[in-house]
Amino acid sequence: MSGLGGLNKTTGGIVIAAVQSQLFHVATPEDLSKATKHVCDLVRQAKRANPVTDLVLFPEYSIHGLTMDMNPVIMCTMDGPEIAAFKQVCKEENVWGIFSIMEKNKLGNPWNVGVTINSSGEVVDYYRKMHPWIPVEPWYPGNQGISVFTGPGGVKMSLIICHDGMFPEMAREAAYLGAEVMFRTAGYTPPIKQGWEITNRSNAFTNLMYTVSVALAGTDGTWRSMGQAMFVDPEGNVLVQGDNIPDQIVTCEVRAEEVRRRRREWGVENNLFQLGHRGYVAVKGGAGDCPYKYMRDLMKGQYAQAEDKEVHVRDGTVCGFPKPKDAFVDEIS
C-alpha cells in the first residue's frame, strides 16, 4: 500500500518524494550553480505539492550531468556553496533531503558522493560510491563502506548509488546493518531499465526491506536518462513507479513496521537471518560458517572468477581514461 502515493499519511508512516530531476550538461561553475538552484527549487516544489513529505530524494549527477568531467572548477567540497544551498533549503522547508555531488579528493580522482541532510539543515550521512560504473566512470572507489542512519520517523535508512545496486552484497550489507529503507540514486540511461527493475525488486525481497530508487530524466542533447523512480515493498511488489518525465516528483508512503514485523516473525524466506543460520532445522542454531569461496578469496585479496584471465576490459582506456598508477587506499582497514 502506498497511501495513494503518500497523500494519506498514516501513524508510523513516512512520505518520501523521489524526484526524476532533469539531466543537464554541466561544464562551468555557472552551469553548476544553475543546476544547484534547480534542485533547490524542486525541493520547494515537492513540499508545496505534498506538505506532509518527510524526505526528498534526488538522483546521482543531479548537479553534474553525465559528461564524467573531472575539471576541478566544477568539483564540490563539503564546505562549498552547493552543500550550503542544500542545507539551507532543507531547513527552510523543514524536510530531509538526499543529494549528489562529485567531490574533490586528495587521493586522486574525485569521489562520487551522496549526502543526506536533515530538516534542521545538518548533514547526517555521507556516502562514497563503492562501485563506480566501470569502465565508464572515473570516480575513486568508496573506501568507507556502507552506513546506516536514523531518518525521519526513526526509520533506519541507507544509501547506495546506481551501479552499487547491481551487487546483491551491497543491499545485504545495508540490511545486515539494520536498514529498513534502502535508497538507490542513479544517472542510468534506458538500456539499463530492465536490470534496474529486477535488482530493485530482488534487493527488497531478499532482504525484507523497502527500496526507493530514482534516476535522472530527460536529455542534455547527447545523453538521455530514464527517470523510472520506483518504490518497492519488502515482498518485492512495486508500489509506485515513475516513467521518463523530467522533474516528475513521485511520492509514496513507507511503513517501517512492515519491515520489522517480517524480520521478527517470518520463517520461510527470512533470508537475511537464514544466511548465517543455514539448516537450523537440522543443526542446532544453524551452520554459521562461510561456505562461499568468493567471499573467502575476497577477504584474502585473491578474488578471481573462473574466467578471470579471459576478461577483456580491465581498465578505463576504452572510454578514454589513462591507466591508473596508484594503488587503492582503504580507510576501513
Which of the residues are catalytic?
A: 60, 129, 162
Taking the C-alpha atoms of residue 159 and residue 161, their distance in angstroms, rounded to an integer, is: 7
CA–CA separation, 325 vs 90, rounded Å?
A: 40
Residue type, 138: P
Other C-beta atoms lying within 10 Å of the C-beta of residue 200: 23
Q: What is the C-alpha separation between 39 and 159, in angstroms, rounded? A: 19
Phi, psi of 183 (to 5 degrees): -90, 145
Q: Which residues contact 288 (CB under 8 A, 6 or more apart)?
A: 276, 277, 278
219 near 23, Cβ under 8 Å?
A: yes
Closest CA to 209 of 266, 133, 276, 251: 266
